[in-house]
Amino acid sequence: MDPDRDSTVVTVHVAKLEKMVRIRLDYSRQSRTIRYIRITGDFFMHPEDSIDGLEEGLLGTELERDALRQRISSALAGTRCFGFDAESLTGAILDAGGDAP
């Protein structure tokens, strides 16, 4: 990682309910807020385009459990997910942040 950049990108894999969820995360190390997030995997979401609102809704969110869970729960209101839930996704994003060097 470039020490001069106030940013880090990490990828974590979360296996839950036999589905794979990958998180690609770019966040500010200084403010610990999310600059970019991509959630990919073989999971299901209905409706499918909820993923866009989820990823957009997480931009600027602090890498802190309550803030993440609240933002995710809000973004997923009315969405059916198979393969992850708000709690496991929160944990995965925190893992991604925590695993950063």
Partner 1 sequence: MAVDECLLYRYGAAGDTVLRLYGWSRPCITIGYFQGVREEVNLERCEHSQVDVVRRITGGGAVFHDMEVTYSLVTKRFHSDIMASYRSICDMVVLGLGHMGLDASFSPLNDVTVNGKKVCGNAQTRKGGALLQHGTILLDVDVEKMFSLLNVPTAKIRDKAIAGVKERVAGIGRTFEQTVDALKRGAQDAFGCGLDTMSLSGKDIAECRRIMAARYSQRSWTHKR
CB 97 → partner 1: shortest distance, Å?
Answer: 20
Please name the residue that has the structure tokens 């974590």: 12
H/E stretch holding 9: strand 8-16
Per CB under 8 A, 80 contacts partner 1: yes
Query: 10 Å Cβ neighbour count for 31?
Result: 12
The stretch near partner 1 (CB under 8 A) out of 29-37, 43-51, 70-78, 89-97 is 43-51
Q: Which residues bind partner 1 (CB under 8 A)?
A: 17, 20, 22, 24, 38-48, 51, 80, 82
